[in-house]
Structure 1
């Protein structure tokens, strides 16, 4: 197979595939039906033209027959006037007209035969078109039912193009939702850890840690009050536990203050000696409070 033949074959195969995808059987059936109706109209027009031609020949034949009668009268009149030469001429014209009439009759007979054939073919074509119309409507109904069933099956199984698009849209929505949920959780975690500041709050990380320490002390104070209400014997053990808890809380608070101070030093680049002096004062205050 030569290069041009291969190229032609490939092009035809591609076009055939495109046409198969674009073809609608119902439209094809309707188009075929219209084509057959056009053929019937052509036959009817041809039959009408043939009948008209036959009518024209019949009219001409009648005129020739009238001329034949006229030439007969002319011949008789010429003989009465003893004009044999005129009679001969009239008879000659009569014979010419008779020959034309005979030829026309043959043509008319041929046209009548053709007309009969066309009328029979027209009747057969009409029957064929009627059968095709019935079959066309049946095929269209079957095709539309099969198409509807196919759409329902695709919708139920999710294999159709539209359902596939819907499935992909749902997957993208789930992925986007999970991404947004993860991002929100990360932002909340960073905010709680103090990595990110709340732009609408006046508190910073140090203020939040100090507030947490005050809350712990308030809780411990309330617990001490509850322990004192239990009685003298239990109050002694409770006092020791309270003192131990206060010591641990003071130690934890001191460590948190130390860590917070270190972070503040790195962020603000202040004098380390000044920060250490303030921290020492805070430790002494906490120790005094614990001793008291």
Structure 2
């Protein structure tokens, strides 16, 4: 295979591949159906033209037949007038017209046969077109259903391009999140271990630990102080409650004494009376 033939073959194969990807089966079926309808219309037009030619020949035949009758009448009249020469001419014209009529009849019969054949082909083609139309609609429905089912399946299983892109985006986001969390945990661990000294502080790790210990001791001391103060407050509250009870009892006793004195005074007044 030469270079030119190989180049031509490769180009044709590439073009064929592009056409296959760009081809829509439903559009192809519709186009084929329209082409068949155009062919049917052309057949009908051919039948109409053929019928027109046949009718034209039939009209011409009728005119010749009228001329034959006319020449026949002329021959009779010439015989009656003893004009054999005129009668002979009329009969000669009659024979010529009859020969033309025979030729026209042959042509008309041929056209009629052709017309019958075209009508049969037209009926057959029309039947095939109707059958193709039914198959076309069925095939289009199946193709559209299969296409919709394929899209749904791809969306559900994640095989489609969009779902694949979404899946890859989620994977990248998860990887970045894991990396950031690991980096943050590593930094916290290094800071707690003192591996990274504070750039703004001149304290080393030992001083920070000692300071943390002093802070803890101060917190414990303050906690003990608060507990002691709370204990004293509880004792004072108890004593105050006891004093309040004594005062209440004293108040109650004084009232009772006053009441008894009033009763005694009343009794004394009653006795004096």
Report if TM-score (shorter chain) is over 0.5.
yes
- Unpaired runs of at least 5, structure 2: 186-196, 202-212, 229-273
Q: CA deviation at 1:173?
A: 5.6
Distance 1:226 1:165, change over 3 A: closer
Is residue 76 of structure 2 the alignment partner of residue 76 of structure 1? yes
Question: Which residue in 1 is equivalent to 2:3?
Answer: 3
Match for residue 272 of structure 1?
A: none
- Supply the RMSD in Å over aligned alpha carbons: 3.4
Give runs of ≥4 in structure 1 deviating > 6 Å.
175-185, 216-222
2:116 aligns with: 116
Change (3 A) 1:229 1:65: closer
How far the C-alpha of 1:105 sits from its partner, in A, is 0.5
> 2:146 is matched with which residue?
146
- Give me the whole-angstrom Cα distance separating, in 1, the residues matched to 2:167 and 2:13: 33
Other-structure match for 1:228: 225
In structure 1, list runs of 5 or more residues that go unmatched: 186-192, 196-204, 207-215, 232-292
Question: Does residue 55 of structure 2 align to residue 58 of structure 1?
Answer: no
Q: CA deviation at 1:178?
A: 7.5
Residues 127-152 of structure 1: per-residue CA shift (max 9 Å, x gap): 11111111112211221121122111
Question: Which of the pair has more CA radius of gyration?
Answer: 2
Taking the aligned partners of 1:229 and 1:149, their CA distance within structure 2 comes to 76
The number of residue pairs the alignment matches comes to 215
* Higher RCO (CA 8 Å, separation ≥ 6 residues): 2
When residues 219 and 39 of structure 1 are mapped into structure 2, their CA distance, relative to the original with a 3 A threshold, is same
**2: CA distance, partners of 1:173 / 1:83:** 122
Alignment partner, residue 34 of structure 1: 34
| Cα deviations by residue, 1:84-126 (Å, 9 ceiling, x for unpaired) | 2222222221111111111110011001111111111111111
Q: TM-score, normalised by structure 2?
A: 0.66
Q: How does 1:168-187 map to 2 (within 5 A)?
A: 168-171=168-171
Indicate how the Cα distance of structure 1 residues 179 and 48 shifts in structure 2: closer, same or farther if over 3 A, else same: farther
Matches of 2:180 and 2:73, distance apart in 1: 117
